[in-house]
Amino acid sequence: MKNLTVLTLSLFTSLSTAFADNTVKTVSQVAEAVTLSDDVDYHITSDTPFTTSGSVNIKNTDHAVLVFDKLKPSLALKQLGFVTINGEAAKNGVNCQVKIYNRGAIIMPYAADIKPLTVYSEPNFKGESVNDFGLENTGGFMNTLTDAKLNNRIQSFKLKRGYMVTFATGKKGYGYSRCFIADKADLEMNLPSLMANRVSSYRIFKWNDCSKAGLASDTGNESNAALNTQSCYDWGTGRDMGIDREAVANHIYEDWPSAADCGKQEYSPMMKTNNEPGNSADDHPQSVETVLANWENLMATGKRLCSPSSHDGSLGWLREFIDSIDARGWRCDIMDVHCYWPEGSFNNLSSWYSNYGNRPLWISEWVWGASWNNNGVFTSGWDDSYRVSQNAVVVKRILDKLNSWGYVERYFYWNGEQWYSKIYNDGALTPTGEYYATMETGVGYKSEYNKYVPKGPRMGAPSGLKGTFNSAKRTYKLSWSEPNGEFNKTMELQRKLDNGAWTTIANIDLQDTKANYTYNDTLVDGGKYLYRVRTVDYLNKERFSGEENYSMSVATKVGNGDMQYGSMTVVDKNKVVGYLYGNFEEKPAVLFSSVTNKNSKASLIEHLSTVTGVSGAKNSVLGIDLLSWTAGKTADAEMKVSETYNFMAVKPGNGTIGTLGYESGLTKKRLAVGSSNAGQDTAVITFAKPFKDVPVVLASPHTYGTATNVYPVSARVFDVTNKGFKIKLMRQAVGLTGFRDCQVSYLAMERGQVLDGNGHIVTVRDTTITFKNAVSTTDVYYGDNSKLANPVFFTQLQTMDTPVLAVLRQGATGAGDYSTRVRLQIDDTDPDNGKVSSTAPFTARVGYIVMADAEGSESTGIKGVAVAGISYSEGVYNMNGVKIANNIDNLPKGIYIIKKNGKSQKVVKN
């Protein structure tokens, strides 16, 4: 007995590892007992492999194999009497597999219950392992992993030689997929980072080491046997060709045979696809889009896929297809080329390999020349006998090249042209066919030329970020779509309030595939909220969604809370919400004033759309939006940047802030414009109690009633006295139809500057301004050289010398510490009063109210304050600057200067 011992190389490397190829031992015939104990491919070259005394015992059942170079598998079966597997008689399908190897056969010592695949939950074959996998499929498609089979947990695997496994990241074979082939040795490797912990489906195939030689459009037993082919195809799913050759399923066009039918076919782990879809003269020309629409279903079979076959007249089609596949991160494993070419053109095949992503080539139709081009064997003027002889000579040269080029994996001769071009004719081999049947092609698949790896999936940013506000719960429900799924490492929802920094408010659990997401954010503080979604993909590249915004205001209480104010910064005209403190038994008067002028080409007016409540707080939620003027030069102009506007809500009735009295309310009747009844647009308000002096009055439309046409209106105050005032509802002069009606809110307040006792300074003043053109601006100073902290500014016209729709807007930067800029916005559709110039100025009394924080303000104005019990370390002084006391307790009512911490301040003791 001879014991064959062969040295082996190291088994695997640390990252992506595979067993080294076996040592190759070649003999012509075995005449004695041979035991294969090491990792060896033992080749026998004779068509009579054994003498009567020869035998082979495959003891190394993990890696040793026996190869019959001159016997097809069907003939190799007859030699099993000379073969034992670890001392037991070899039986195909019991303790060994007899399969195709080149143009011969290979015996692999695998038991019937072999588990060809083992997967591991950690790199380098550590952690939890599972090997409960077979050749099963799910209706022709890949099998979805269960949690028990390490769904989304596989990091490394081992695959036995003679098998192919396809892994996919999605269920049922969808998502990113890749074929792994153990052709010459066991394959043991860590999954690439793109797939590690992401695999959700698999399919295992037996792998045949076929020669390159095949036959096109023919699954006949006689022709294929005569030509000694190892693969063939027809115009369907093929048929069982027995143990000697593969029949490759042929998905000819969309969708026939179907992906499922082709996937169920187990004669070959490969699939041909789409016959010349770019050829308009073909039976079923189809667009790239049509083929792509079904390609994911073909990938889901797990089979190794050929590209749609080429057509010399539509190579642009194929280029577009491959580029589209690569751009999507889809899988197309093989380039399928049709070659009806002169001899020299075959030399260009290397460019097909290099220009299409190093995909191995299948030439699924070819002859020397083309009958429609009258070249090659079809050259005009040749007699038939010369054609036959020349075909044998030239095709041999072509075949020798194809067999020498490692990137050519298989070729299938087209035997359907003129008889003189055929390799098998009338039941016999032609001279060309004789060479075709006996030549040495070598194994077609060469792993060193299978450099193609599907590109990473097309990655995208989160999109469609939208929000919906629930005013009752004060929550903002965000929804968005994310395309990358598990190819992201993380997904975060981020938020920014006003001019603050972006912060992560939620880490979102990722779905496996493209999915829609929602998240409810509870809003506490008022301000402009910006949201975005941030993802980091498997390559550590971060992406962001577009930004979604929502503005909400939480009102600030003035005094005891019967008066409240707030600000809104918005990026569009959509409805936003302002929250009030406490419970308003009746609807409050709601006042607006002074949208900023950042969008100078958009004429904007605030609109109170709703007044609602939440549990335990009636009339405490204001719905507010912005409306554009609907006629004139600025009609319906879009906002380009954010705008800020202010609102005030006041309990109807009379009250005081510090020493300043006020009255607020709503008109008893609804004022209307667009009505045929004259006078409905005007109301006269008589104060319940006359003021000592003429107050400043703000007025704004309350919620609109039913309208036949949507357009904004404004309330214009005029004829203000200490006893009352008039209000007129104004709209643009022309270009409007329909009826608009509403109550009007108003606030009348005494002029002066006071502390409210709640940390705020309230300044109420008026001035006269002359605008000399429609876009004139002027500065309004708060008075007494006051510096106010965080001022919120309200201003309105107090007179109507010029009867035209006109509103005032703040400067683009809003209110400053000492002053603010005010701009006139006037209706340019009014033919009589819509133009302002130096010769026709617009002069009006302007009233304003400024709410500011007491802390940080440095006002020298008079303030009504509670001062009893307060001592001042630096004393109390009279208006002449003479110190008169250390505290104010025993001093009479009057105006004093107090000093503390190096600062002076005027106060009034009431």
What does the block give as tokens for 365? 């139709």
Domain count, the chain: 5
Please tell me the pTM assigned to this model: 0.76
Of 836, 906, 907, 821, the C-alpha closest to 867 is: 907
Residues 375 and 442 in one domain: yes
Residues 391 and 469 in one domain: no
Per-residue pLDDT, 16? 46
Q: Name the β-bridge partners of 796.
A: 847
- The answer to whether the beta carbons of residues 164 and 179 sit under 8 Å apart is yes
In a domain, 709, yes or no: no
Residues 309 and 400 in one domain: yes
What does the block give as tokens for 44? 């026998």
- The answer to whether the beta carbons of residues 98 and 92 sit under 8 Å apart is yes
In a domain, 808, yes or no: no
SS3 state at 838: coil
Please identify, among 449, 484, 509, the residue that sits at the C-terminal boundary of a domain: 449
What does the block give as tokens for 687? 């104060």
Residues 21 and 35 in one domain: yes
At position 4, the amino acid (one-letter code) is L
In a domain, 601, yes or no: no
**Which residues contact residue 427 at a Cβ distance below 8 angstroms, ignoring those fewer than 6 apart?**
222
Please identify, among 108, 138, 173, the residue that sits at the C-terminal boundary of a domain: 108
Per-residue pLDDT, 864? 41
In a domain, 612, yes or no: no
Assign residue 445 the CATH number of its domain: 3.20.20.80
Backbone angles phi, psi at 703, to 5 degrees: -60, 140
- What letters, b where the CB count within 10 A reaches 16 and e where it falls short, cover 596-615? bbbbeebbbbbbbeebebee
Task: Give the relative orientation of helices 431-438 and 384-404 as an angle to the nearest 10 degrees.
Answer: 20
In a domain, 860, yes or no: no
Residues 239 and 342 in one domain: yes
Domain assignment of residue 140, given as a range: 117-206
Residues 435 and 501 in one domain: no
Q: Distance from CA of residue 256 to its chain's centroid?
A: 33
Please identify, among 171, 206, 241, the residue that sits at the C-terminal boundary of a domain: 206
Residues 473 and 539 in one domain: yes
Residues 169 and 296 in one domain: no
Assign residue 490 the CATH number of its domain: 2.60.40.10
Phi-psi region of 125 (alpha: psi -120 to 50; beta: other; left: phi over 0): left
10-residue block means of pLDDT along the chain (910 residues)? 36 47 97 98 98 98 98 99 98 98 99 98 98 98 98 99 98 97 98 96 99 99 99 98 98 98 98 98 96 99 99 96 97 99 98 98 99 97 97 99 99 98 98 98 98 96 95 94 96 95 98 95 91 97 95 90 91 84 91 88 89 89 89 88 91 96 94 75 96 97 72 93 96 80 94 92 94 81 81 95 92 88 92 90 95 79 40 58 68 64 58
- Work out the burial of residue 475: count CB atoms within 10 Å of its CB; fewer than 13 is exposed, 13-18 middle, 19 or more buried: middle
Q: What is the DSSP string of 284-328?
A: S---HHHHHHHHHHHHTT--EEEEEPP-GGGHHHHHHHHHHHHHH
In a domain, 368, yes or no: yes
Residues 221 and 276 in one domain: yes
Handedness of CA 195, 197, 203, 206 (dihedral sign): positive
Task: Give the relative orientation of helices 288-299 and 315-328 as an angle to the nearest 10 degrees.
Answer: 50
In a domain, 818, yes or no: no
Per-residue pLDDT, 812? 87
In a domain, 23, yes or no: yes
Exposure on the CB side of residue 264, measured as CA atoms within 13 A: 8
Q: Distance from CA of residue 714 to its chain's centroid?
A: 44
Per-residue pLDDT, 108? 99
Residues 154 and 262 in one domain: no
Assign residue 147 the CATH number of its domain: 2.60.20.10
Residues 227 and 315 in one domain: yes
- Work out the burial of residue 439: count CB atoms within 10 Å of its CB; fewer than 13 is exposed, 13-18 middle, 19 or more buried: middle
Phi-psi region of 590 (alpha: psi -120 to 50; beta: other; left: phi over 0): beta
Residues 221 and 262 in one domain: yes
End-to-end Cα separation, the chain, in angstroms: 124
What does the block give as tokens for 72? 């097809």
Per-residue pLDDT, 781? 86
